[in-house]
A and B are shown apart, each in its own frame.
Chain A
Amino acid sequence: DAKTTQPTSMDCAEGRAANLPCNHSTISGNEYVYWYRQIHSQGPQYIIHGLKNNETNEMASLIITEDRKSSTLILPHATLRDTAVYYCIVQQTGANSKLTFGKGITLSVRP
C-alpha cells in the first residue's frame, strides 16, 4: 500500500502557483519524498525529491515540514502543459528502491 495520501484533484489558473499537498505521516528516517507526474499516454516523469531540506529545481520546489510528516510540491507558474496526475511517493534508496504509487492528484490548469 502507498504510504502517502493526496487529495483526488485540484485546479489552478494558468500563470498562478499550484501547491500540491501530500501527507506521509508514517515516513521513516531513511525514506525520501519523491514527486512524479504522468501526462496522459506517457510514462511518469520525475520532478523532484528530498529528504528533509526544501529543494528547488527548474521544474518545481519541494517544501517538507520539519517533522517530515507532510510536504508540498509547488509549481511556481502553472501552464496548460502542467495538467497531469501528480504522484507523491516515499521510498527507501538503494536495494529497496521500488516505487509504490498511490492514486495521485489530478491537477487541471485552466486558461
Chain B
Amino acid sequence: KAGVTQTPRYLIKTRGQQVTLSCSPISGHRSVSWYQQTPGQGLQFLFEYFSETQRNKGNFPGRFSGRQFSNSRSEMNVSTLELGDSALYLCASSPGSGEQPQHFGDGTRLSIL
C-alpha cells in the first residue's frame, strides 16, 4: 500500500509570493491533516480536512488555507509569504474515525528568501 505522498519535496520562494503544496493520502483515507515544523516552535497543527470539509483548525493566520478534493487529495496554500514561513510542511492521513493513527508523508521543505 502506497504511503502519503507530498509534492514537491523542496521549494524556494521569495517574500510576498504565494505557494501551493500537494498531498496524496493513503488509499481509502478520508482525513488529511497539515502540520508545520520549525526548529523554534516544533510541530504545530495547521488544519484537518475530512470529506472535503475543514473539520479542525489550528492557530495560524488566514494566509494559510487548504482544500480537499473528492478523491481525498489535499492542497495547502500560503499567501503573502514571510521569512518566518520557512519550515517543513507535513501532511498526514487517516481513515478519519475511530482510533486509527495518522500516517505522515516526508514533507515539503519550504525556504523563503
Contacts and interface: CB of A to CB of B under 8 A. Distances in A.
Interface of A: 32, 34, 36, 41-46, 49, 51, 87, 93-103
A98 B96 contact: no
B104 A34 contact: no
A97 B96 contact: yes
B48 A98 contact: yes
B79 to A, nearest CB: 23
Contacts of B97: 93-94
Given A98-B58, A101-B42, A103-B42, A49 B102 contact: no
B106 A49 contact: no
Main secondary structure of the interface of A (DSSP, over half): loop
A34 B90 CA distance: 18
20 contacts: A36-B104, A43-B4, A44-B92, A44-B104, A49-B99, A51-B99, A93-B97, A94-B96, A95-B50, A97-B33, A97-B56, A97-B94, A97-B96, A98-B33, A98-B56, A99-B92, A99-B102, A100-B45, A101-B42, A101-B44
B107 interface: yes
A43 B31 contact: no
